[in-house]
Amino acid sequence: RSVGMDLVPALGIAIPVGKDSLSMKTAWQEENSSREVVSPLSLVVTAFSPVEDVRKTVTPQLRTDAGDTDLLLIDLGFGKNRLAGSALAQVYNCTGESAPDIDEPATLKAFFNAIQELLRRDLLLAYHDRSDGGLFVALAEMAFAGNVGVDVQLRSLPSNTNAVLFSEEAGAVLQIRSRQFADVMGIMEMAGLGDALHTVGALNQTQQLVINRREDELFLAPLHELKSLWWSTSWQMSRMRDNPQCADEEYAAIANPEDPGLRPQLTFDPNLAIAERLISATAVDARPRVAILREQGVNGHMEMAAAFSAAGFEAVDVHMSDIINGDISLSSFQGLAACGGFSYGDVMGAGGGWANTIRNNPRAFDEFSAFFSKGDGFGLGICNGCQMMSQLSDLIPGAAFWPAFRRNKSEQFEARVAMVEVFKSPSIFLKDMQGSRLPVALAHGEGRCVFNDEEKIAEANVALAYVDNAGNLAEKYPANPNGSPYGVTGLCSDDGRFTIMMPHPERVYRSVTNSWAPPQWGARGPWLRMFENARLAVG
């Protein structure tokens, strides 16, 4: 009743389907009687909404490149600071009597609209909700994300310090530019939230979280110590579930006070619109054709097609059944791209089922053999496509020393951001990018390179390798997410026409599609250059 009849109508939103939640029940025995409650013990609401401009999203990462900034608390509990059900209450094994609530739905709606206005006017640098751990946790996590210390001042907040810091009332912490405080306050007052706004702190240069009330210092701790505590539960769970060595290596990295965080380094200018000049000088119907290959279970074809299209190619969707049935021939394409995903659910080994489909079907085998050897085509294999092409290396001239790809050392599917360095190689895709260190998305369960002879890795034409945040070849987890020797994660053929890699540059060829990117990057992400290089190579 509270959610469906009071809150939702007041907010002007809808619950389109309740699934079968209200038909569920919990039953138990109590002394000599049976009891049951119709409906689950907890309510889970999954929200969805249109996003007008993904570039206007905001994260908890505190910005250090915006001059003087302030941290503001928007307290939608208006000083009540109820603690029942909070993480603090659970730590002390108590429930409490008064839990946080939305007393006035109109206030929550006004808050949402005010935040949207701040985003539209570019007044919001960072944002973190308060209702999962309280003010203390929100401030700590913002400091972790920005890798910067914070000075907190509780002067304007109620005197019960524990309640102020750990109440999980609705609200948020915002980072704004100090010079724009009046603009922010004006928007909050127009929303009726002027009394909910409190200035609670600013950044410091000490890599510490410091909490004060007026002149009294209440708390001080280095960020790396707090991060160790924050991560400790995940670490212990990971040690039991995953490879304990990898869990320990990740925990050591989290606790490292010298870790500088992600630091991209570019040896080229991504804003030079190389492909755009080629496209403008070429008729649309004269674009080189590239086959965007997929197999049952492969799901990365849309991003791959978008990246090649942005670089001036005509991207053509080609399913393996099209080749097997003779409906499409690879001879009509300048290039091919084998996409990532889970071919055959990976039940035959990563990329193995896909490779065997080619080997065991005469028409497909002849098509791929002819394409690989014709001398003027090119190919790119990403993730599952990388694994497939590596298992066909005997068909690809100059790929004899490519490795196989086996189960990650962590024993887990790794979906994260990693840093890679581009090495000097003949790859047509990575021309003039050598020396660059770039963040890239990855998602694979079997990406560990296994070479027949590690002494001949140099002959395998290594093009990409994982590096840590200091720029060193990554041997430890998670900077090296799969345990590959020397961090190897991308290779090419001797003539550079065929390149394979485990990461997903096609997912991040636009700056905005990176989960994190330096603010100074323009709309064109650096990984677009890889696809532009292929366009230049074919003329």
Cα distance between residue 467 and residue 472, in whole Å: 5
**Catalytic annotation present for 246:** no
For range 426-445, the mean pLDDT: 96
For range 15-25, the mean pLDDT: 66
Q: Which carries the bigger pLDDT value, residue 49 or residue 83?
A: 83
**Catalytic annotation present for 449:** no
As a whole-number percent, the residues of the chain with pLDDT over 90 amount to 78
Catalytic site residue from 339, 383, 386, 492: 383
Opening angle at CA 491, ends 488 and 494, nearest 5: 140
Q: What is the pLDDT of residues 43-58, one digit of tens each?
A: 677 788 888 888 888 9
Q: What is the pTM of this model?
A: 0.88
Q: What is the pLDDT of residues 66-77, one digit of tens each?
A: 999 999 999 999
What is the residue-averaged pLDDT of the chain? 92
| Residue from 315, 310, 313 nearest 270 by CA | 310
Q: Is the pLDDT of residue 26 over 80?
A: no
Return the bridge partners of 440, or none: 418
Cα distance between residue 399 and residue 401, in whole Å: 6
| Residue from 383, 410, 405 nearest 246 by CA | 410
- The three-class DSSP label of residue 187 is helix
| pLDDT score of 175 | 98
Catalytic site residue from 198, 246, 504, 532: 504
Neighbours of 404 (CB within 10 A): 18
Return the bridge partners of 34, or none: 29
Q: What is the pLDDT of residues 136-186, one digit of tens each?
A: 999 999 999 999 999 999 999 999 999 999 999 999 999 999 999 999 999
Cα distance between residue 398 and residue 133, in whole Å: 56
Catalytic site residue from 303, 414, 506, 532: 506
Cα distance between residue 449 and residue 425, in whole Å: 18
The values of phi and psi at residue 347, to 5°, are -70, -20
As a whole-number percent, the residues of the chain with pLDDT over 70 amount to 95
- Beta strand spans in 286-436 (E): 289-294, 314-319, 335-338, 378-382, 404-406, 414-422
Cα distance between residue 437 and residue 417, in whole Å: 13
**Catalytic annotation present for 198:** no
